[in-house]
Structures are given as C-alpha cells and as structure tokens.
Amino acid sequence: MRALGINIFMIPVILGVTGIFFSCVNDLEKIKEVSSIEHAPDEATRDLNVIYTDSGYAKLELTATISESYNETQKTKLKDGLKVKFFNDNGEVVSILTALYGEIDKKTGDMFVRDSVELKNVEQNKVLRSEELIWDKKGDSVYTEKAVTITYPNMILYGQGAKTNRNFDTAFVYNVKARVNK
C-alpha cells in the first residue's frame, strides 16, 4: 500500500518535470534581439590600467577612467580621462600624454585623442597642447593638423599643426603664428 502511494504522487511530479524540460525551446535570434543593446560595447572596464612591455621592459602605461571595446569596429574607446606614460630604455618616464577622450585602433595600435590634449616632455619641461593628436604607433610619430601651443621654459610657440615623436624631444610646428619669449 505504501509503495502504491508514493507512485501516485510521483507520477504528476515526473510529468511536470518532463513537461518543463521538453516544452522550453529558445530561439537564439529572439534571445539576441531581447538581450542585446544596439551599439553596446563588447567589453567595458572602469579604472583601466595597462602596462605594455617589449622584451620585459615597460614601454608605456595606459590608464583610463572608462574603457569600452568594440569587436565589430576593432576600436577601444577611452572615456572620461586618460593618461599615457611613455618610458625610455631605463624605465624612466620620458613623456606623458593626457586627454579626456581617446580611441585605439586594435588593428594598427594607433591612438586618436581629443579634448584638452597635453603631451608633456618630463625632462625638458615643455608641453604641447591641442584639441586632438594622433599617435602613429608604427612610425612612432605624434601629429595633428589642429592649432597647437607649445610651452617651453623660456618661450611659447603657436601654430597650426605639429609633428613629433612619442618622447616629444623635438617637434616640428607648421604655420607658426607667434613666438613669445617669457
């Protein structure tokens, strides 16, 4: 009698569980439509800190408040402030690049920065300011066609466009507008 009582209660449970497993079918395309947000990043990071090395030596350190990676466009967007420290072969900081916004092309490694851009040579105490800069990683050049101001300890240069390297030890300023000695 007792064995019969257990079987009677088990039949609805078994049928219910079987129904749950076989009645649930999800269409993957419908799930993607519901769960994906258009133009959302594939990865997002807050307070990013990355050190790039070559043969065990630090070449640059990148920090950013917000980092968003997009696989489809092969871009990483850096938002709300970024800083790049460039190191020499002795591991010393040679120059510092800061901006409010940046984009890194994952294919080439090139970086585009804009908004309150500053490139500072630490050793020579000079600062290049512009609204945007592009760092060509392969050619190791930093350039812009926008208006620039370069502040040296003893003078200020104003121009339209400039080209330098990531260390900012020398610079070519195009269409120099003014040279003011301090």
pLDDT in tens, 49-83: 999 998 888 999 999 999 999 999 999 999 999 99
* Containing structural domain, residue 123: 41-181
pTM: 0.77
Per-residue model confidence as pLDDT tens digits over 115-127:
999 999 999 999 9
Taking each continuous run of H as one helix and of E as one strand, the counts in the chain are 2, 11
- Tell me how many domains the chain contains: 2
Per the rule left: phi > 0, alpha: psi between -120 and 50, beta: everything else, 8 is alpha
pLDDT value of residue 17:
66
Statement to judge: residues 101 and 54 lie in one domain? yes
Per-residue model confidence as pLDDT tens digits over 2-41:
555 556 666 676 766 666 666 656 666 666 565 556 678 8
Statement to judge: residues 25 and 49 lie in one domain? no
Statement to judge: residues 140 and 98 lie in one domain? yes
